[in-house]
Chains A and B, each alone.
Chain A
Amino acid sequence: MQHPILANRTRLIIWGLAWLFLGIGQALLYYFAYGKFVNISIADALLSLLIFSVLALSIWYPFNYFTLGKENPLSLILNLLAIGVVSVVLWILISKGILLLLLPDRNIHQEYWDVTLLYRIGTGLFIYMLVILSYFLFVSLSNLSEKKAREAKLESLVKETELKMLRSQINPHFLFNSLNSISSLTISDPDKARDMVIKLSEFMRYALSKKDEQPVTLRSELDNLRLYFDIEKVRFGDRLTTDENIDENCLDTKMPVMLLQPLYENAIKHGVYESTQRVTIVTEAKRTDGHIEIKITNNFESVPSSRKGTGTGLLNVSRRLELYYGKNASIKTTRENDVYSVSLIIPSEV
C-alpha cells in the first residue's frame, strides 16, 4: 500500500494544518506551564512538532510492516508500543537539542525544560496515538474502497456474463429443419441449396461472431433478419410472408446484437408453426423524440397450441433491455383479433 499521506496532496495539506493546530496547542501549553517566554514557547512548540510530523510520516513504514503481517493482536500492540516509545524518546532528544539553540542560557534552559518535560512526554504519546489511529483509519478506508471497487467489478462481470447468456441461442428447430431443407434441395434444386447454405452461413456468422456486447445498428439487425426470413421461407413456402415499414432515420440506432431475434422466433413458432393459413410478419420502426419504436406484428390461427409457451423469449428480451438500457426502454405486447404484436421502445442514442 502507498503512503496514505504522501501519495495524496489534499491529505498532505490537511495533515500540515492539523500539525499547525497541534503546535498552537503545544505552545499554549508550554506558556501556561512556565508562564514566560511567549516567543520561545511558540518557536519551541512549532519546531518540535515540525520534527514530530516528519517522524510521524516515517512511522507509517514500520506501521504498515507490522499491520500487514497477519500477526496476533498482542504482538501488534507490543510492536506499536515499542515504536511509540522509540519515537517519543527520539523526538524529545531532538527537541532538547533544538531548545539549546533557542535558549542558550544553561540555567533558564534547564528550568524551562524540567517544567515542560512531563507535558512533552504526555503530548508526545498522545500525538503518537492520534497518528496511529489515523493510519488505522486510512488503512480501513482504503480497504473499504478497494472492496467496493472489487464488488463493482464483480457486478459488471456478472452483468456481462448474463448479457452473453441472454444472447439468443440459435434455435435448434430452426437449424436442423433448415439443414434438412438444404439436404432436400441438393437433389431437387442444387442452386437453391447452395444459396441457402450461403444465407445460413451468413446468418450464423452474424449470430456467432459478436463475441462481446458491442452494440450494432438497426440496419445490420434488419439485414440479418432478412437472411433469417429467406431461410424460413424455403421451409414454409407460401405460409410465410414478411413486410417492412422502416423510417430511414431509425436505421443508425444502436442496440444489442440479436435483440429482436427471439421475437421473430416467437412469431414463427406461434404464428407459422401453428397455422395452415398464410402468416405475415410485419416489422415497423418509427422515431419519436429521443426514442425509436420497433413493432413486430403477426397474425395467428386462434386455436389453443399443443403445449403452452414458456415465455422465455419475451423474458429474455425484456431482461436484456433492462440490463442494457436500465429504465429507458420498454416492451409491450398486445393480442387482438388474431393479430399479435410486440412493441419495443428504446432510446435512439445511448
Chain B
Amino acid sequence: MDKIRTVIIDDETPAREIIRHYLKELDNIEVIAECADGFSGLKTISSMKPDLVFLDIQMPRLTGIELLEVLTEKPEIIFITAYDQFAIRAFELNAVDYLLKPFPKRRFLEAVGKATEKILSGTGRKEPVSQLLAKKPESAAPVNRIVVRKGNAINLIPVDQIRYVEAQDDYVMIHHLNGKAMKQQTMKFYEDNLPGTDFVRIHRSFIVRVHEINRIEPYGKDNHIAILKSGDRLPVSRAGYQQLKKELKF
C-alpha cells in the first residue's frame, strides 16, 4: 500500500514540529513537505499533489482559506487554528476535520484516522469549496483582497481596485483597475464580504462600486441602466435601483 503523502503548512515552527512528531508514529503517513506561508504552501500543493494537508488559517501572504479558494485539485484538508470563529465554520463544511490549538494527541489521531479512511476509500469531497466559504459571520471585517489564479500565477487584487463584479454561471468575473479576473465563487460571497458602504448589488448579476457609477438612465419600461466612468453599461434591476436610491440618497 502506498503511503499517504502529506504536507504541513503553518507559519509557526513549534506548531509544525508537533504535527511532524505525532505523524512520525504512523507508518502509513509520509511527510513530503513543510511550508511556512500560504504562498509556498499553494505552490507545493500544486506541484507535489499531496493526499493530505494540515493547513493553518492565519499565515503570511495567503491565508489557509484563500489558499483553499484557488486550489483546483483539492487534497483532503485538516484545518488547524488557534481561535477563529469564521474558520471554524469553514472547517465544519469543508474539511475532513479541524483541530483547535493546542490539541490532544488522541484528537489528532482521530482526525488523521478520518482523513486516511476517506483517502483510501476514494470518497473525497467533490463539491466546490467556494459555495461553502460564502457564509460570513456578522462580526467579521469585510475582505480586503481577493486571491485569483491565472494559470500558475497567483494574484492578489486589493478590494479598493475592484470596479464591479459580474456573475457568470458558477464563476464570477472581477473587473478591476488592471483588467479582469475569473474566480469560482458566488455573488452571495461578494455581497456579504465586500464593504457594504462602497459596493451595491444593482442586479442579480452585478455588484458595482458606487463611485464607479457616472450616471443612471432609464431603460425600457421600468428598468434602468448604470453607465460607469469606464463607459461600461450595466443593467439595474428594480430592487437594485431601490438599493442605489438608498445608498446615494436621491
The count of chain A contact residues (Cβ–Cβ below 8 Å) is 32
Number of B interface residues in the complex (CB < 8 A)? 34
Q: Which residue of B lies closest to A176 (CB)?
A: B82
Stretch at the interface among B55-63, B176-184, B219-227: B55-63
Q: How far is the CA of A236 from the CA of B15 in the complex (A)?
A: 10
The answer to whether B14 touches A235 (Cβ under 8 A) is yes
Q: Are B101 and A179 closer than 8 Å at their CB atoms? A: yes
Within the complex, what minimum Cβ distance (angstroms) separates A200 from chain B?
12
Which residues in A have their C-beta under 8 angstroms from that of B145? 303-306
Q: Are A310 and B82 in contact (CB under 8 A)?
A: no
A273 and B58 contacting across the interface, CB-CB below 8 Å: yes
Interface residues as binary, A158-184 with B (CB distance below 8 Å gives 1, 0 otherwise)? 000000000000001101110111111
Q: Which single member of A183, A188, A237, A307 contacts B144 (CB below 8 Å)?
A: A307
Q: Tell me whether A180 and B14 are in contact (CB under 8 A).
A: yes
A235-B102 Cα distance, complex, nearest whole Å: 13
Binds A, one of B135-143, B166-174, B199-207: B135-143
Residues of B56-72 whose CB lies within 8 A of A: 58-61, 63, 65-66
On whether the beta carbons of B156 and A303 are closer than 8 Å, the reply is yes
Complex: A274 Cα to B61 Cα, angstroms: 6
Return chain A residues, CB-CB under 8 Å to B32: none
B66 partner, pick from A179, A184, A273, A306, beta carbons under 8 A: A306
Contacting pair A176 B83 (CB below 8 A) = yes
Q: A192-209: contact bitstring with B at CB < 8 Å (1 yes, 0 no)?
A: 000000000000000000
Question: Would you give the 0/1 interface string for A216-237, flagging 1 where the beta carbon is closer than 8 Å to chain B?
Answer: 0000000000000000001111
A275 lies within 8 A of chain B by Cβ: yes
Is B14 within 8 A of A234, CB to CB?
yes
Question: CA separation between A237 and B15, bound complex, in Å?
Answer: 12
Chain B residue nearest to A273 in the complex (CB): B58
Chain B residue, CB-CB nearest to A309: B141
Which residue of B is nearest A196, CB measured?
Answer: B14
Task: Scan residues 119-172 of chain B and give those whose CB is less than 8 A from a CB of chain A.
Answer: 140-145, 156, 158-159
CB closest chain-B residue, reference A306: B63
B18 within 8 A of A: yes
Secondary structure of the A contact surface, majority rule: helix
Q: Which residues of B contact A274 (CB under 8 A)?
A: 60-61
Partner of B21 from the list A181, A188, A309, A310 (CB cut-off 8 Å) is: A188
Q: Does B37 contact A (CB under 8 A)?
A: yes
B161 nearest in chain A by CB position: A304
- The answer, yes or no, to whether A308 is at the interface (CB within 8 Å) is yes
Of the candidates B36, B37, B66, B101, the one whose C-beta lies within 8 Å of that of A177 is: B101
Query: Are the CB atoms of B60 and A184 closer together than 8 Å?
Result: no
What's the minimum C-beta distance from A279 to chain B, rounded to whole angstroms?
10
In the complex the two chains form, is A304's CB within 8 Å of B144's CB?
yes
Residues of A within 8 A of B66 (CB): 306
A187 to B156, CA, bound (A): 38
Please measure, in the bound complex, the distance between the C-alpha atom of A349 and the C-alpha atom of B14, giving whole angstroms: 44
Q: By the criterion CB–CB under 8 Å, are A306 and B12 in contact?
A: no
Q: A55 within 8 Å of B by Cβ?
A: no
Instruction: Please give, as numbers and ranges, the residues of chain B lying within 8 Å of A307 by CB-CB distance.
Output: 140-144
Contact with B along A279-317 (1 / 0, CB 8 A): 000000000000000000000010111111110000000
Residues of chain A with a CB closer than 8 A to B39's CB? 276
Distance in Å: Cβ of A316 to nearest Cβ of chain B: 16
B36/A188 in contact, CB under 8 A = no
Residues of A within 8 A of B21 (CB): 184, 187-188
The answer to whether B47 has its CB under 8 Å from any CB of chain A is no
In A228-256, the 8 Å CB interface with B consists of: 234-237, 239
Shortest Cβ distance from residue B60 to the other chain A in the assembled complex, whole angstroms:
5
- Name the residue on B nearest A171 (C-beta): B83
B61 touches A276 (CB 8 A): yes
Question: Counting CB contacts under 8 A, is B230 at the interface?
Answer: no
With a cutoff of 8 Å between Cβ atoms, the chain B residues found around residue A234 in the complex are: 14
Contact B36 A276 (CB under 8 A): yes
Asked, given contacts A185-B14, A235-B14, A308-B144, whether A176 binds B102 with beta carbons under 8 Å apart, the answer is yes
Q: Which residues of B contact A175 (CB under 8 A)?
A: 82-83
Partner of B83, one of A172, A275, A301, A304: A172
Q: How many angstroms between the C-alpha atoms of A119 and B21 in the bound complex?
A: 108
Q: Is B12 a contact of A235 with CB atoms below 8 Å?
A: yes
Q: Which residues of A contact B101 (CB under 8 A)?
A: 176-177, 179-180, 183
Q: Which partner residue on chain B sits nearest A279 by CB separation?
A: B60
Please determine whether A183 and B83 come into contact, CB atoms closer than 8 angstroms. Answer: no
Name A180's contact: one of B58, B102, B141 (CB within 8 Å).
B102
| Residues on the A chain within 8 Å of B143, using CB | 306-308
Chain B residues closer than 8 Å to A188, beta-carbon distance? 14, 17, 21
> Bound complex: CA of A175 vs CA of B14, how far in Å?
14
Pick 21 A–B contacts, CB within 8 A, sort by A. A176-B101, A177-B12, A177-B82, A177-B101, A179-B101, A183-B18, A183-B102, A184-B15, A184-B17, A185-B14, A187-B21, A188-B14, A188-B17, A235-B15, A236-B12, A276-B36, A276-B37, A304-B158, A305-B145, A306-B65, A308-B141
Q: Which 10 A-B pairs rank lowest in CB-CB distance, beginning with the nearest?
A: A180-B101, A184-B18, A176-B82, A184-B14, A183-B102, A172-B83, A304-B145, A180-B102, A181-B14, A304-B158
Identify the A interface with B (CB < 8 A). 172-173, 175-177, 179-185, 187-188, 234-237, 239, 273-276, 301, 303-310
